[in-house]
Amino acid sequence: MERPSLLLCKGLLLAASLLACGNAPTAAELTIELVPPMVAEGGNSVLFVHKMPLNTQAFYWYKQKDPTKSYEVARYLTPTNASSKMPQHSGRKTVFYSGSLLIKNVTQADSGLYTLLTFNTEMESELTHVHLDVQKPVAQPTLQADHTTVTEDSSVALTCLSGDPGLSIRWLFNHQSLYFNDRMTLSQKNSRLSINPARREDAGEYQCEVSNGYSSKQSVPVQVSVTSE
Ligand SMILES: *[C@@H]1O[C@H](CO)[C@@H](O)[C@H](O)[C@H]1NC(C)=O
Ligand SMILES: *[C@@H]1O[C@H](CO)[C@@H](O)[C@H](O)[C@H]1NC(C)=O
């Protein structure tokens, strides 16, 4: 029946990606991988099942750890049961024949521990867990210009303001990646763009885009005009 030491080992493997484990997994070990590894609200997440045993008779997905005290998110019985045609859809969730569970348009409420309970043809059961953490998407940054109309040969500075620290910042000009020239400098961890001296060709729409690896947001464009007087 269930093998607690092996389950614990699997839990460790999933939680910490440890390569070494007391009970060396056999080649046919069932594992669950999150694809992508990090997901923000509004994204899709696949709880991807690797190596579902060939003698699997039925499987059930549960949210939380203990199947008796939690709600079922999906189930799959024998392939001969007409009620178990794959893929199975229910709301934002889809279960595939492979066992994988797709959750679309995730919210923070989808965060938590998911458990896959499998039964083989001998009605032996096994539990495998995976933890889904839905991240908050980055907030939209605000772009501020010290001047929106400047005369040629004077300077202009743009500052990208974001509530989230430690983000990577990309600059856009007329909705494309900004091509930096030698009159432009970046400072304050790329959040401030100075153009000195400004030229007519610098006139246009500026935006900054912040990203944290799993989500990104662009500011509203700021129009900068360069006059010859
Ligand atoms: C098919 O599965 C359902 C549960 O989802 C069960 O109630 C029903 O008895 C099964 N039918 C057969 C023919 O096994
Ligand atoms: C995603 O979910 C949010 C609510 O959580 C909803 O407002 C939005 O319309 C959904 N988007 C899609 C594409 O289904």
Does residue 77 have its Cβ closer than 6 Å to ligand 1? yes
Centre of ligand 2 to C-alpha 217, Å, is: 17
How far apart CA 93 and CA 107 sit, in angstroms, is 12
Pocket test for ligand 2, best of 94, 104, 105 (most atoms within 8 A of CB): 105
For residue 160, how far is the Cα from the chain centroid?
A: 24
User: Which residue, judged by its Cα, is nearest atom 11 of ligand 2?
Assistant: 105
Nearest CA to 32 among 17, 21, 43? 17
Residue count of the chain, please give it: 229
pLDDT tens digits, one per residue of 48-75: 999 988 888 888 888 876 667 666 666 6
- Shortest-distance ligand to the CA of residue 80: 1
Would you call 27 helix, strand, or coil by DSSP? coil
Q: Are 145 and 157 in contact (CB under 8 A)?
A: yes
How far apart CA 73 and CA 142 sit, in angstroms, is 40
Q: Which residues contact 170 (CB under 8 A, 6 or more apart)?
A: 177, 208, 209, 211
pLDDT tens digits, one per residue of 76-87: 666 565 556 667
> 29-135: which CATH number, 3.50.50.60, 2.40.30.10, 2.60.40.10, 2.30.30.240?
2.60.40.10
How far apart CA 223 and CA 98 sit, in angstroms, is 51
Least confident of 13-22, 92-101, 217-226: 13-22
Cβ atoms within 10 Å, residue 198: 23
Which DSSP state fits 64? Answer: S
Dihedral pair phi/psi, residue 121, rounded to 5° = -65, -20
The answer to whether 29-135 and 142-227 have equal CATH topology is: yes
Would you call 211 helix, strand, or coil by DSSP? strand
Q: Are 86 and 97 in contact (CB under 8 A)?
A: yes
Centre of ligand 1 to C-alpha 53, Å, is: 21
Would you call 113 helix, strand, or coil by DSSP? strand
Q: In the CATH scheme, what is the homologous superfamily, with its name and number, of domain 142-227?
A: Immunoglobulins (2.60.40.10)
Q: How big is the CA angle at 13 (ends 33 and 101), to the nearest 5 degrees?
A: 20
Domain boundaries, the chain: 29-135, 142-227
At residue 105, the pLDDT reads 95
- Shortest-distance ligand to the CA of residue 44: 2
Note the pTM of the prediction, 2 decimals: 0.65
Q: Which atom of ligand 2 is nearest to the CA of 105?
A: 1
pLDDT tens digits, one per residue of 157-183: 999 999 877 789 999 999 999 999 999
